[in-house]
């Protein structure tokens, strides 16, 4: 964050400087009429692997549509009652490649960290949910491929 004219924090993202109220940054705003995960995947032009992880997280939590009054990514995270790990993954994928303060490789490694945390949580507290464990393992494979691509 940078301070401009002492008027408060400014967040840089999406090729423009946006004011932040400190609780969220403008790059977490949803475009108008966004009601499903496919809308966000198209809006952010996500590659196959990241788009699939993004969609799997929403499907992991329920239906892929959310209320039409959602205006920020946090509204979607709250609607699905995502835990901390899934919320962080969701945010990192949404901003992937769209903010200047966080390089793609850093975000990919962050996604991997939180996927590993989610896998550990499932194995410890919900070991009978083999479907969710299998999904997280697949998500980890996808983000590993992304990390390899970015490391070349």
Q: What is the pLDDT averaged over residues 133-148?
A: 97
Greatest Cα pair distance, the chain, in angstroms, is: 55
Who has greater pLDDT, 70 or 101?
70
- C-alpha to C-alpha distance for 71 and 54, rounded to whole angstroms: 18
pLDDT for 29 equals: 85
26 vs 113 pLDDT, higher one: 113
- Residue-wise pLDDT tens digits, 63-80: 888 888 888 899 999 999
Q: What is the pLDDT of residue 17?
A: 34
Question: Would you place residue 9 in the very low, low, confident or very high pLDDT band (cuts 50, 70, 90)?
Answer: very low
22 secondary structure, DSSP code? S
The burial class, CB within 10 Å (0-12 / 13-18 / 19+), for 77 is buried
The CA R_g of the chain, rounded to the nearest whole Å, is 16
| Residue 62 DSSP class | S
Tell me the mean pLDDT in the region 113-125: 97
Instruction: Report the alpha-carbon distance of residue 84 to residue 82 in Å, rounded.
Output: 7
Q: State mean pLDDT over 7-13.
A: 35
The 10s digit of each residue's pLDDT in 80-92 is 999 999 999 999 9
Rounded to whole angstroms, the Cα distance separating 51 from 97 reads: 13
* CA end-to-end distance (rounded Å), the chain: 29
| Arithmetic mean of pLDDT over the chain | 83
Q: Is residue 133 within 8 Å of residue 123, measured between CB atoms? A: yes
Structure tokens that stand for 131 in this block: 């479907």
Measured distance CA(71)–CA(134) in Å, rounded: 32
pLDDT at 14: 40
Prediction pTM value? 0.80
User: Is pLDDT above 70 for 116?
Assistant: yes
Quick check: 56 pLDDT over 50?
A: yes
Confidence band for 25, pLDDT divided at 50, 70 and 90: low
């Amino acid at each position: 964050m940078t301070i401009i004219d002492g008027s408060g924090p400014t967040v840089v993202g999406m090729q423009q400087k946006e004011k932040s109220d400190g609780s969220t940054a403008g790059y977490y705003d949803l475009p108008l009429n966004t009601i499903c995960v496919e809308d966000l995947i198209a809006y952010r032009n996500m590659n196959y692997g990241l788009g699939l992880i993004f969609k799997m997280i929403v499907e992991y939590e329920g239906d892929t549509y959310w209320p039409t009054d959602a205006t920020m990514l946090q509204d979607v995270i709250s609607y699905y009652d995502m835990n901390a790990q899934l919320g962080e993954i969701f945010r990192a994928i949404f901003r992937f490649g769209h903010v200047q303060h966080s390089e793609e490789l850093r975000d990919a490694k962050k996604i991997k960290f939180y996927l590993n945390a989610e896998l550990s949580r499932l194995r410890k507290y919900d070991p009978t949910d083999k479907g969710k464990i299998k999904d997280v393992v697949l998500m980890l494979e996808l983000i590993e491929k992304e990390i390899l691509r970015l490391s070349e």
